[in-house]
């Protein structure tokens, strides 16, 4: 996913907030997604945001979108050890095919 960039690692203490950042390149992307992958498991969709929104909140998750800067972030409040996983940002290829394109993923490590 060279069109979608993420930092590779994030380490936080249990109970703190985590913020995972992503930059993307396709300004015409309609939807942007966050997926979670736990060890040995497939990808699980966590949340998504429509491009005409600035923010979306879903329980402990907050997604912020800065369309001008093509910057997407995922904030996890009250991070728990069970949140340890790899988080992938994905944009749609809006060139007509709507293919999700993924970043390399951010490995979130939550320590006590």
Partner 1 sequence: DTGVSQNPRHKITKRGQNVTFRCDPISEHNRLYWYRQTLGQGPEFLTYFQNEAQLEKSRLLSDRFSAERPKGSFSTLEIQRTEQGDSAMYLCASSLPVAGSTEAFFGQGTRLTVV
Give the binding site for partner 1 (CB under 8 A): 1, 4, 30-31, 33, 35, 40-45, 48, 50, 88, 92, 97-105
Residue 24: Cβ-neighbour burial (10 angstroms; 0-12, 13-18, 19+): buried
Shortest Cβ 1–partner 1 spacing (Å) = 5
Q: H or E segment at 59?
A: none
Question: Of 94, 99, 49, 93, which is closest to residue 72 (Cα–Cα)?
Answer: 49
In the bound state with partner 1, the residue whose beta carbon lies nearer, of 17 and 44, is 44
Shortest Cβ 100–partner 1 spacing (Å) = 6
Question: Of 74, 105, 91, 90, which is closest to residue 27 (Cα–Cα)?
Answer: 91
In the bound state with partner 1, the residue whose beta carbon lies nearer, of 59 and 97, is 97
In the bound state with partner 1, the residue whose beta carbon lies nearer, of 8 and 77, is 8
């Amino acid at each position: 996913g060279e069109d979608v960039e993420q930092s590779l690692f994030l380490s936080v203490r249990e109970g703190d907030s985590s913020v995972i950042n992503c930059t993307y390149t396709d300004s015409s992307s309609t939807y942007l997604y966050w997926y979670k992958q736990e060890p040995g498991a497939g990808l699980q969709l966590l949340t998504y945001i429509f491009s005409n929104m600035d923010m979306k909140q879903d329980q402990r998750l907050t997604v912020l979108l800065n369309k001008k800067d093509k910057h997407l972030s995922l904030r996890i409040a009250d991070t728990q050890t069970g949140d340890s996983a790899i988080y992938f940002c994905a944009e749609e290829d809006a060139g007509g095919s709507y293919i999700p394109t993924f970043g390399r993923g951010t490995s979130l490590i939550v320590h006590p």
